[in-house]
């Protein structure tokens, strides 16, 4: 599978910069997935969860509170206001999930978004 570069930048710095297989983001007009070779697009991001499939197949979830995404053929850039990363092998996962939930709630996400996000987090635990 072809890989592409993903960068996630927050005002506090770069939090993710690696080659990945696929990323799914909560676009302003609905969720969409990006694979390598995707057409160039710039979109608003709503608050929600970014799901990243890493090159080794592991999944990482990043809760965000809105921002922008710029997709180019080789490279994808997400600029978000705030982010909390969650992955299966994290030792203090429970604490991070609480942080992520807090972030989403503060971003005035609808209860539906929070609920959808929480169910995604629950999947990580399993």
Partner 1 sequence: MANLKDIKRKISSVKGTQKTTRAMKLVSSAKLKRAEEVAKRSKVYSVKLTELLNEIAQKISQGNEEGIDNVFFKENKNPKNVDVVFVTSDKGLCGGFNSQTIKRASQVMESFGSDVKVRLSGVGKKGIAFFKYNQVEMLNQIDDLSSKPNYERSTELISSLVEDYVNGKTDKIILIHNGYVNMIMQKIHEQQLLPVDTSKLEITKSVAMSELEIEPDDDDTLLDALVKKYIDYTMYYALLDSLAAEHSARMQAMDAATNNAGDMVKSLQVKYNKARQEAITTELIEIISGMESLK
Q: How far is the CB of 3 from partner 1 (least distance, A)?
A: 19
Q: How far is the CB of 59 from partner 1 (least distance, A)?
A: 25
The closest of 55, 73, 69 to 19, measured between CA atoms, is: 55
Applying CB under 8 A, which residues contact partner 1? Answer: 9-14, 27-29, 39-44, 68, 70, 72-73, 77, 79
Q: Which is nearer to partner 1, 97 or 104 (CB)?
A: 104
Q: How far is the CB of 4 from partner 1 (least distance, A)?
A: 14
> What letter does residue 7 receive in the DSSP assignment?
E
The distance in angstroms from the start CA to the end CA of the chain is: 26
Q: How far is 83 from 17, CA to CA, in rounded Å?
A: 14
Q: Which is nearer to partner 1, 65 or 97 (CB)?
A: 65
Q: How far is the CB of 109 from partner 1 (least distance, A)?
A: 16
CB 97 within 8 A of CB 86: yes
Q: Which is nearer to partner 1, 75 or 95 (CB)?
A: 75
Q: Which is nearer to partner 1, 37 or 57 (CB)?
A: 37
The closest of 91, 80, 105 to 15, measured between CA atoms, is: 80
CB 71 within 8 A of CB 108: no
């Amino acid at each position: 599978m072809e890989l592409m570069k993903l960068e996630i930048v927050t005002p506090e710095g770069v939090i993710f910069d690696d080659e990945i297989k696929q990323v799914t983001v909560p676009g302003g007009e609905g969720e969409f997935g990006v694979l390598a070779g995707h057409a160039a697009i710039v979109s608003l991001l709503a608050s929600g969860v970014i799901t990243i499939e890493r090159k080794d197949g592991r999944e990482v979830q990043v809760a965000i509170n809105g921002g922008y995404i710029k997709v180019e053929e080789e490279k994808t850039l997400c600029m978000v206001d705030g982010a909390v990363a969650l992955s299966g092998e994290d030792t203090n996962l429970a604490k991070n999930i609480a942080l992520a939930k807090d972030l989403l709630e503060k971003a005035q996400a609808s209860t539906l978004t929070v609920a959808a996000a929480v169910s995604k987090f629950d999947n990580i635990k399993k």
